[in-house]
Amino acid sequence: MISFEKSEAIAQMQYLIQTVADNMMRPYSRHFDEQEGEIPWEYINFMHTAMKQMGAASLVPQPEKEGEVKEKKGQRQAYQLMAYTIEMLSWGDAGMYLCTPRGGLGSAAIEAAGTPEQKAKFLSRLNGDDPIFTAMAITEAQAGSDNSAIQCRAVLDEATQEWVLSGEKIFITAGHKAFVDTKGFIVVWATIDPDAGRAGIRSFVVEAGAPGATITKKEKKLGIRCSDTVTLTLDNCRVPFENILGSPTVEPSTKGFKGAMETFNVTRPLVAASALGVARAALEELKRILAEQGVEIRYGLPRQKMTNIEREVVDMERMVRSSWLLCLKAVWMSDNRMPNSLEAAMSKLHAGEVVTKVTQKAVELLGPMGYSREFLIEKWFRDAKISDIYEGTGQINRLVAARQLLGYSGKELR
Amino acid sequence: MISFEKSEAIAQMQYLIQTVADNMMRPYSRHFDEQEGEIPWEYINFMHTAMKQMGAASLVPQPEKEGEVKEKKGQRQAYQLMAYTIEMLSWGDAGMYLCTPRGGLGSAAIEAAGTPEQKAKFLSRLNGDDPIFTAMAITEAQAGSDNSAIQCRAVLDEATQEWVLSGEKIFITAGHKAFVDTKGFIVVWATIDPDAGRAGIRSFVVEAGAPGATITKKEKKLGIRCSDTVTLTLDNCRVPFENILGSPTVEPSTKGFKGAMETFNVTRPLVAASALGVARAALEELKRILAEQGVEIRYGLPRQKMTNIEREVVDMERMVRSSWLLCLKAVWMSDNRMPNSLEAAMSKLHAGEVVTKVTQKAVELLGPMGYSREFLIEKWFRDAKISDIYEGTGQINRLVAARQLLGYSGKELR
Amino acid sequence: MYSFQPDEEQQMLIDVTRRLAANDLRPAAHEAEEHGEIPVSLVAKGWELGVLQASIPAEFGGFGERSALTSVLALEELAYGDLAGALAMMVPGLFAIPVLTAGTEEQKSTYLPAIAEGAWTPWSAALIEYQFDFDPQDLHTIARPDGGDYLISGEKRLVPFATEAKTMLVYANLDGQTQAFIVDAKADGVTVGEREQLMGINALPLYSIHLDSVRIPKANRLGGEAGHDFGALLSAMRIGISAAAIGVARASFEYARDYAKEREVLGSMIAQKQSIAFMLAEMATEIEATRLMIWEAAWLLDQDNPDAERAAYLAYSGAVDMAMMVTDRGVQILGGHGYIREHPVELWMRNGRGIASLTGLAIV
Amino acid sequence: MYSFQPDEEQQMLIDVTRRLAANDLRPAAHEAEEHGEIPVSLVAKGWELGVLQASIPAEFGGFGERSALTSVLALEELAYGDLAGALAMMVPGLFAIPVLTAGTEEQKSTYLPAIAEGAWTPWSAALIEYQFDFDPQDLHTIARPDGGDYLISGEKRLVPFATEAKTMLVYANLDGQTQAFIVDAKADGVTVGEREQLMGINALPLYSIHLDSVRIPKANRLGGEAGHDFGALLSAMRIGISAAAIGVARASFEYARDYAKEREVLGSMIAQKQSIAFMLAEMATEIEATRLMIWEAAWLLDQDNPDAERAAYLAYSGAVDMAMMVTDRGVQILGGHGYIREHPVELWMRNGRGIASLTGLAIV
């Protein structure tokens, strides 16, 4: 039964997170944007404590145990809750949202591909007294969006039964917080057999302090400056055998790689959610300022009778709402264990474009005020752009969506 | 010296052609749109007589003789005149413009690639008592925009020294008028050596009445209904040896093919000109109706103070004007014998999109009136779309432009 | 809880309308458009699916409850077959749905059983006027009280089946508010004009209507003396034409997609070119985004939620642009083949541009 | 006759400004932006090219005639190097060009030689106000006649080098018309406020200025008692900032093009992907289309053609959208690398969005 009824649980979560956004994020947005590199500990500690009290290991929902699946059919909404949470946190501040402790892509990877032992070992740490961060290291300077071209190498030292990792990973979100500022870990993608292509790619948990692993660069960015983005250099970095996620041998299939790719079906709609939080922030602020200036938006008029501002605002509202519904459908599919790689890619490519356009328009429509750092609009414009880039650029997501729509393999449509 | 001074010759031509457009075209636009297949003889005969009196062989400017080149440097404006002529004729009616006798792509091909004997033989006919048409047959059902994949075959009968042509050509503009309604000719692209690829492609003059050549289909179209678009079937069609344009043997280079491709550098800006005539017609009619309804367009306001209609009209004006300047620069380069394949492709892709958008907007902004056949706006919307398709779709022209910009060959950027 | 899954009954309706669209509507569409005539038998067949009848409660001769959302699902499918055909089949709804949702008990029992129980009959409605800035909430056709009656004067355009309809709703401006009036087509002062000639949907017979001080008994004002909330009706109309837009756009998208997969150039299919593939991905994304907006608006309308009106307006605004973008690209992807009338994409492009001007010709 | 070819003198100017942009402006841009400061020596070096001096006739200390078109060519090149640097170099023009084109003979001979003959000195101008719908033709800073003088009150924003400038033009609303007044920075009632913090062009020092009943002698109204035609000045400003927009956009286009040709993914360069190649083709096309509009507007202005105002307005409107589109795509093509400040495309995107709000900071 098609329904657009928001559940009580989601409404409560929205209320809660809006309080966080209003009090812990917005007042500090400008500060952490200007003081690039400073860490929002107050927000981090608050979130850590709050989530611990709520019993939430991370923002990423944990998969239900096998037995629970049947009973809960149609009732699951963990990913929907998460999308709403991320949307609201990003509405508060997209950079600070990326500083949310405990969760992060590193733990998501372990939850998706780890053994029960690995989960017990690594994920339990999230729940300690002090907040920790986890991160994921995929991108390499020469590979770009082509995750199958990974050069980072993992060799098993038969004598010590350790993996020896060498290579350089760039663009690691929250890597500094995971590796230097807290005792967290980074999940590193590397190949155990360069000749095997995708089939040889595995991920390894590299813990803070691992010898041979160093954060060698902290990027200065256009936006989301509160979130650190770093380079991790691995120079014969040794990690225990059991830190490999998945099978330690090369399988003939690329199942492992495909599994890894499937995490994008979860993360892409969540990036969309973050994008749409920023878009909503910009739209609401624009409307607030316009209302203050006595500009009323009249709904229902034919285009021939509207002012240009009305037309722009109506278009922005429509874009944000329709994009949100795409996102919601994609996470609803995740909750209902439906294959959603098409919907995940569509939600991501759409939201990435919507937040870009909406924040561009908001800056423009506020004239010189939109361009000033006295207001947050210009910051959201800068924060927005990352959504059309990370977790697959708009172009990569179009490629993914097109392959699904056309029934093409990666080879048939490059 | 950069100058936007319109020459007297162009201004006079515009005045003249506007008279034709106002009197011979606009009043009959709806009639020939509704009576698809009917031939606008009155317009044709008038244009034939007028051009004959003016001494113009065709709309296509004839290249100056060798000696003239130097003296005239910076003064040539034949292509500019032609662009203005085509723009105004298309402003009158794009379908009827395509029914302009004498010129056409067939004669352009002979002018570009024919020997003096061929020019004398074929082009002199344009100047006869009765109007004749010439057409160009390139496209084949399976080849699409890929002109190097031509299947139509020309074999030399050594005994009779005749070329024997076999194959089927589709989407021939004015082919019916060239082959059936008047005693004109069609220039047919065929291969003299299928294994030679582009190097084997030649064009042949197939005269009206040639045995084995038959017009087998007349398309019903979305727009430009006054112009016929036909299929030519060649079944062992024999043409004299001297009807081949260019060399009768396969050369090791693809110079011939490239030369043929270079005619696009001339024709593409002219298609752009035609597109922009339609766009201007739609824009002017929109403004006329709006003015009639008391809607004033105020120029100079910031976007925040405009009405939506003002914004739309201003955007349309800007698009049409900037697109016209692209076109003008491309033909100015032709006049000055500068290599202009980038500019030709840019003008075409831009104008194709502009006329599509402008006519779409014009229909929309006039509400139910825009959608009615009581007005010409809906017709221009239909006529417009061909400009983004023929002489290379918008996509093909982006490809051509991108290759130029990137310095890539056709192989490097497919 | 959110859900994006149609229920079983809705899925059945989707299935039958989809079959009719594929087997009957689509094959007849080209001829119907070229000759400006839709086969009576086809309209009857569509009517027999009972889409409208299922919206009318049993007490008024139907067999269900009105659900804008369910109608949206059906309309998308029918319009996927052919826009003109879909609108023709659903024409009686232009009269029935307003009476059902806004009429007095007497109006309902007078008209609904006749509509629901019979074969397809042209009950029509007249909303559109020829203004460039046509605004359903600011009509130029005027109704004014006169004695105990109303007098209506004005010019209506694009009235479906006006020559055949015996009774129709005429929307008019009553003191600045749009209100509907039940008008006898034979009433003094009603003149049916010429058949309309449009850019698209020519299979649907549309006419202009001239109303010259047409006297309407007070009881014939929709909703009786108190009138009715036109906002809700307008929302249902906007959602209706938007749902049809989705069907048209989806038709064009799928046709272009299939064509692109079969069209070879230089040894590969054009769908294998990023430019074409990305166009298709964007078309599909916009279709889905707009569809979800329409679903939400219809759902809100079904809940009598006050946000329905804005949601319907935004959804319609999106549908107008989406339909144009998608159907234009459908033609573009086919290239020269898209420009000839042998392929349906050019008709869908003409129909796609119509969405901007056809509010009032569908309702859910 | 039409021509799109710069003359020899213009070509020389293009060459020298292009060299300065490549060798001096561009290498300094990143540091200048990050530290909010442009090296004095760089500004001086730009000044020595004599772009402005060449617009001022010999009788006033310059060595040429003003040509908006020639200035457009130079501004594109300078802004190709760095927008903030280009604007800084040309700041004296904000004062000189209005005086030259609209001032009285006395105003010209008082100010122009001092500007043209000296080293770079900050002669400034104050147009912008903080209104969301800021409209140069409807200012909130008010000038009213008082005795034989004018009194000006209001708040100006984004005034370049306001702390250093000794004299500046202040634009104010006089009876509904915008008029410029020559204001002594030390005059009573003038307070220079905080350094402005913007999204981009932070290397250019901009300040707010508060004017509280500042008394201006009658002789200091630009053009004297009769005043002047602000429309022509506004057109020159719109053309100026548009020309700068072209430079910024071209910088981003070229950088993204070169990056795409060197960035390999899966065995081919990303420029070999239609999606990237087509984006580049569209960027180049829009840049060229907008450039031609700007050239035409400048040419019309130079001819005192009454169409210049509309042409400048349309060109500026196009430049605003073009700059945003192109610079956004510059970032997009670089992907993650576009988002970090090591590459200049993110700065160009910030500057690109600024074009919409910076009318008044350049003039030709």
Predicted confidence (pLDDT) per residue in B107-127, tens digit: 878 887 888 999 889 988 888
Residue B262, pLDDT above cutoff 80:
no
Residue A70, pLDDT above cutoff 50:
no
* Given the residues B68, B310, B391, B412, the one annotated as active site: B391
Model pLDDT, residue B69: 44
Name the residue of chain C whose CA is nearest to B392's CA: C335
Predicted confidence (pLDDT) per residue in D274-287, tens digit: 999 999 999 999 99
Model pLDDT, residue B66: 44
> B414 to chain D: which residues are within 8 Å by CB?
274
Min Cα separation B149/chain D (Å): 21
Predicted confidence (pLDDT) per residue in C183-235, tens digit: 999 999 999 999 999 999 999 999 999 999 999 999 999 999 999 999 999 99
Asked if the domains B8-127 and B257-406 are classified in one and the same CATH topology, the answer is no
Name the residue of chain B whose CA is nearest to C270's CA: B144
Whether C117 and C61 have beta carbons less than 8 Å apart is answered as yes
Question: Among D3, D289, D2, which residue's Cα sits nearest to residue B10?
Answer: D2
Name the residue of chain A whose CA is nearest to C320's CA: A303
Model pLDDT, residue B27: 98
Superfamily of domain B8-127: Acyl-CoA dehydrogenase/oxidase, N-terminal domain (1.10.540.10)
CATH top class, domain A257-406: mainly alpha
Tell me the average pLDDT across B36-53: 93
Q: How confident is the model at residue B67 (pLDDT cuts 50, 70, 90)?
A: very low
Residue D13, pLDDT above cutoff 50:
yes
CA-to-CA separations, A408 to A266, A398, B104, C277, in angstroms, rounded = 21, 13, 42, 10
A306 CB within 8 Å of a chain B CB: yes
Q: What is the CA radius of gyration of chain C?
A: 20
Is residue B336 classed as helix, strand or coil in its secondary structure? coil
What tokens does B138 get?
A: 């390139």
B222 vs C273: CB contact, 8 Å cut-off? no
Chain-centre distance of CA D177, in angstroms? 23
**Three-class HEC string of B354-381:** HHHHHHHHHHHHCHHHHCECCCCHHHHH
Model pLDDT, residue A106: 80
Tell me the average pLDDT across B286-312: 97
Model pLDDT, residue B60: 52
Distance CA B402, CA D6 (A): 25
Residue B68, pLDDT above cutoff 50:
no
Model pLDDT, residue B73: 55
In order of their start, the domains of chain C are 8-117 (1.10.540.10), 124-226 (2.40.110.10), 230-357 (1.20.140.10)
Q: What angle do CA A5, A6, A7 make, to 5 degrees?
A: 110
Residue C13, pLDDT above cutoff 80:
yes
Q: What is the CA radius of gyration of chain B?
A: 22
Distance CA B261, CA B341 (A): 10
Which of the other chains make 3 or more beta carbon contacts under 8 angstroms with chain B? A, C, D
CATH top class, domain A134-245: mainly beta
Q: What angle do CA C72, C73, C79 make, to 5 degrees?
A: 80
Predicted confidence (pLDDT) per residue in A322-347, tens digit: 999 999 999 999 999 999 999 999 99
Model pLDDT, residue A257: 63
Residue reference for tokens 């000759």: C35
Tell me the average pLDDT across C104-129: 96
Sign of the Cα torsion B55, B61, B64, B70 reads positive
DSSP D307-334: THHHHHHHHHHHHHHHHHHHHHHHHHHH
Distance CA B333, CA D76 (A): 22
Tell me the average pLDDT across A43-72: 68
DSSP B185-244: EEEEEEES-GGGGGGGEEEEEEETT-TTEEEEEE--BSS-TTS-EEEEEEEEEEEEGGGE
Q: How confident is the model at residue A68 (pLDDT cuts 50, 70, 90)?
A: very low
Mean pLDDT in chain B?
Answer: 91
> Residue type for A334, please?
S
Q: What angle do CA A88, A92, A97 make, to 5 degrees?
A: 80
Q: Residue B16: is it exposed, middle or buried by C-beta count within 10 angstroms (0-12/13-18/19+)?
A: middle
Question: Among D309, D318, D351, D289, which residue's Cα sits nearest to residue D79?
Answer: D351
What tokens does C330 get?
A: 């459908």
Percent of chain B with pLDDT over 70: 91
Residue A60, pLDDT above cutoff 70:
no
Min Cα separation D257/chain C (Å): 18
Whether C254 and C332 have beta carbons less than 8 Å apart is answered as no
Model pLDDT, residue C282: 98
> C304 to chain A: which residues are within 8 Å by CB?
none
Predicted confidence (pLDDT) per residue in A90-134, tens digit: 999 999 999 999 767 788 788 878 889 998 899 888 888 999 999
Percent of chain A with pLDDT over 70: 91
Residue D317, pLDDT above cutoff 70:
yes
Sign of the Cα torsion D55, D60, D63, D64 reads positive
Mean pLDDT in chain C?
Answer: 97
Residue A45, pLDDT above cutoff 60:
yes
Is residue C63 classed as helix, strand or coil in its secondary structure? coil
D273 CB within 8 Å of a chain A CB: yes
Residue B147, pLDDT above cutoff 90:
no
> C135 to chain A: which residues are within 8 Å by CB?
301-302, 304-305
Is residue A246 classed as helix, strand or coil in its secondary structure? coil
Question: Among A204, A249, A247, A230, which residue's Cα sits nearest to residue A109?
Answer: A204
Model pLDDT, residue B113: 80
Which of the other chains make 3 or more beta carbon contacts under 8 angstroms with chain D? A, B, C
Residue A307 DSSP label: B
Domain ranges, ordered by start, for chain A: 8-127, 134-245, 257-406
Reported for A317-321, long-range contacts at CB under 8 A and 24+ positions apart, including other chains, are A317/A283, A317/C314, A318/C293, A318/C314, A318/C315, A318/C317, A318/C318, A319/A279, A319/A354, A319/A357, A319/A358, A320/A276, A320/A279, A320/A280, A320/A283, A320/A354, A320/A358, A321/C293, A321/C296, A321/C311, A321/C314
Residue reference for tokens 């096998």: A66
C222-242 in b/e burial notation, b at 16+ Cβ within 10 A? Answer: bbbeebbebbbbbbbbbbbbb
Helix axes C230-262, C91-102, angle to 10 degrees: 140
> D274 to chain C: which residues are within 8 Å by CB?
273-275, 278
Residues 93-132 of C with CB under 8 A from A: 132
Q: Which of C231, C272, C282 sits opposite A412 (nearest CB)?
A: C272
Is residue B297 classed as helix, strand or coil in its secondary structure? coil
Half-sphere exposure of B88 (CA within 13 A, CB side): 21
Pairing of strands C149-160, C190-195: unpaired
B391 is known as an active-site residue: yes
Q: How confident is the model at residue D237 (pLDDT cuts 50, 70, 90)?
A: very high
Q: How confident is the model at residue A66 (pLDDT cuts 50, 70, 90)?
A: very low
Mean pLDDT in chain A?
Answer: 91
Pairing of strands C124-126, C167-174: parallel
Sign of the Cα torsion B247, B250, B255, B261 reads positive
Predicted confidence (pLDDT) per residue in A190-220, tens digit: 999 988 888 888 999 999 999 999 999 999 9
Of the listed ranges B122-136, B385-399, C14-28, D168-182, the one predicted with least confidence: B122-136
D273 vs C274: CB contact, 8 Å cut-off? yes
Distance CA C193, CA D201 (A): 64
C2 vs A399: CB contact, 8 Å cut-off? no
Of the listed ranges B65-74, B227-236, C298-307, the one predicted with least confidence: B65-74
Q: How confident is the model at residue B253 (pLDDT cuts 50, 70, 90)?
A: low
Question: Among B22, B142, B134, which residue's Cα sits nearest to residue B88?
Answer: B22
Name the residue of chain A whose CA is nearest to B312's CA: A308
C198 vs B393: CB contact, 8 Å cut-off? no
Reported for C177-180, long-range contacts at CB under 8 A and 24+ positions apart, including other chains, are C177/C227, C177/C230, C178/C136, C178/C137, C178/C138, C178/C139, C178/C230, C178/C234, C179/C143, C179/C221, C179/C222, C179/C227, C179/C228, C179/C230, C180/C98, C180/C102, C180/C125, C180/C221, C180/C222, C180/C228, C180/C230, C180/C233
Question: Among B246, B250, B119, which residue's Cα sits nearest to residue B185?
Answer: B119
Tell me the average pLDDT across D292-310: 98
